Amino acid sequence: MVNAPTVICVGMAGSGKTTFMQRLNSHLHSKKKPPYVINLDPAVSKVPFGCNIDIRDSVKYKKVMEEYNLGPNGAIVTSLNLFATKIDQVINLVEKRADNFSHCIIDTPGQIECFIWSASGAIITEAFASTFPTIIAYIIDTPRSSSPTTFISNMLYACSILYKTKLPMIVVFNKTDVEKADFAKEWMQDFEKFQESLRTDPNMNGEFSNGSGYMSSLVNSMSLMLEEFYSTLDVVACSAYTGEGFDDFLNAIDKKTEEYNEVY
C-alpha cells in the first residue's frame, strides 16, 4: 500500500465539488507538496485547476453522445466505462509518481449517481482503494441543507454511499461563507435538537406537532441508525470560496489515513 492518501470528492450536483477541488489544490500547493490531480468529469467544459490526468483527454463526451445515441447521463456513464477499461494504466501512472505528491485528489461528475451507482465508478474507486488509502469527501451544500428535511435526505444519501463504497468518509459542509454549519454539527450531536427543529419545520405541515404518527415513529427509528452512522464520520465545515476550514479538512484526512492503515 502506498502511503499518500487519495481523496475522492463526491456530492450532489452543485454542492461545490469542483470549486472545493480548486481550493484544495491551491491549499496543498501552499501548505504541503502539490497534489496529484485527476478529473473524472467528462462533461465539464472548463476545469479550474491543472490536472495530471483528465478523462476529457482520452474520452470525448460529445462524440460518445452522438456515436451511441445517448442522453447526457448515459453519455457520462459510458465515458466512465471507457475510462475504466484503462484503470490499470492509470493506477500504474499514479503509483510511479507517488513519491512526488502528498495527496491524490479526484473530482467526479456533477451528477453523483453517474459515479457512485455505476459499475465503472465502483471499479475506479476499488482500483484506487486497493493501492492507496482512499477517503471519500462527501461535499454538502450547507445553505441548501439547513432545513431539517433536506438535511436528513442528504445524510441518508451520505449513509448509502458509505454502504456502497465501504470507505472512510469525511462529510464536508461547504459554502460556510453563505451559512455557518453550526446547526448541522448540533443536529449530528444531539438528535433531540434535530427532532425539535423537525417539529417546528413548516415543510412538515405539523406532522410532528403531537409527537405521534408515522413520520415521528420513522424519525425515531432513524435516529438510532444515524447515530451509529455519525459515530464513524469526520465532519468539517469549510468554504471553497474563502478557504476557511481547509486546515481542518487536511487534519481529518490525516486522521482517516491513520485509521485506514490500521483497518485495511
Distance CA 201, CA 188 (A): 17
Q: Interface residues for Mg ion in 15-44 (CB under 5 A)?
A: 17-18
Distance CA 25, CA 27 (A): 5
* CA distance from start to end of the chain: 10
Residue 145 within binding range of ligand GDP, rule CB under 6 A = no
Other beta carbons within 10 Å of 200: 11
Task: In angstroms, give the least distance from the CB of 92 to ligand GDP.
Answer: 27
Phi, psi (degrees; rounded to nearest 5) at 119: -60, -40
Task: In angstroms, give the least distance from the CB of 217 to Mg ion.
Answer: 38
Complex with ligand GDP: residue 178 or 218, whichever CB lies closer: 178
Residue 26 within binding range of ligand GDP, rule CB under 6 A = no
Complex with Mg ion: residue 18 or 134, whichever CB lies closer: 18
Spatial contact of 10 and 112, defined as CB atoms under 8 Å apart: yes
Residue 174 within binding range of ligand GDP, rule CB under 6 A = yes
What letter represents residue 113's amino acid?
Answer: E
Q: Contact region for ligand GDP (CB under 6 A) — 13-21, 95-103, 126-134, 187-195?
A: 13-21
Cite the DSSP H helix spans in the chain. 17-31, 55-58, 61-67, 72-84, 87-96, 112-116, 119-129, 148-165, 182-189, 191-199, 214-231, 246-263
Residue 42 within binding range of ligand GDP, rule CB under 6 A = no
Complex with Mg ion: residue 10 or 64, whichever CB lies closer: 10
Residue 142 within binding range of ligand GDP, rule CB under 6 A = no
The residue among 253, 79, 41 whose CA lies nearest residue 168 is 253
Q: Contact region for ligand GDP (CB under 6 A) — 15-23, 85-93, 120-128, 150-158?
A: 15-23
Spatial contact of 5 and 129, defined as CB atoms under 8 Å apart: no
The 223-262 site mask, x for binding ligand GDP (CB under 6 A), equals ----------------xxx---------------------
Complex with ligand GDP: residue 142 or 165, whichever CB lies closer: 142
Complex with ligand GDP: residue 12 or 129, whichever CB lies closer: 12
Q: Contact region for Mg ion (CB under 5 A) — 63-71, 88-96, 103-111, 116-124?
A: 103-111
